[in-house]
Structure 1
Amino acid sequence: MRVVVVGAGVIGAACALRLAQAGAEVVMVDRSGIAAETSSRCEGNVLVSDKSAATSVRAEAELAIVANAMWRDLAAELDAERGDGPATEYEAKGGIVVAFPGGGDALLRFAEGQRAIGIRAEPLDRAALAALEPDLSAAVELGVHYPDDAQVQPSLATQSMAAAALRCGATVVRAEVTGARMRGDRIVGVDTTTGPIDADAVVVCAGPWSGEVAGRLGTHVDIRPRRGTILVTTPMRQRVHHKVYDADYVGAVGSGDAALQTSTVVESTPAGTVLIGSSRERVGFDETGTLPALAEIAAKAARLFPFLADVQLLRTYAGFRPFAPDHLPVIGPDARVEGLFHASGHEGAGIGLAPATAALIVHHVLGTAAPFDPAPFLHSRPGLQVAA
Structure 2
Amino acid sequence: MNANSKTHSGNPLTSFRRAVGGLSDGVRDRWAAAPGWARWTGYALLIALAVIAPHPAIGSFMAPDSHWPSLLFSPIGTFVLLAVGLNVVVGQAGLLDLGFVAFYAIGAYTMAVFGTKYGWNFWGVLIIAIFMTAISGIVLGSPTLRLRGDYLAIVTLGFGEIVRITAQNTDYIGGARGITNIPHPPTLFGVEFALDPLPYYYLLVAAVVLVVIVAKRLERSRVGRAWEAIREDEDAAELMGVPTFRFKLLAFFVGAMIGGLTGAIWASKVIAIQPPNFPFILSATILAAVVLGGSGNLPGVVIGAFLVAWLPERFRGFADYRILIFGAALVLMMALRPEGLLPARRRRNVLGNGENDAGAAATESGGTTASGDAGDKEVAK
Is the pair's TM-score, using the shorter chain for normalization, greater than 0.5? no
The interval holding the TM-score normalised by the smaller chain is under 0.3
Q: Which has the higher contact order (CA 8 A, sep 6+)?
A: 2
Q: TM-score if structure 2 supplies the norm length?
A: 0.24
Larger radius of gyration: 2
Q: TM-score, normalised by structure 1?
A: 0.24
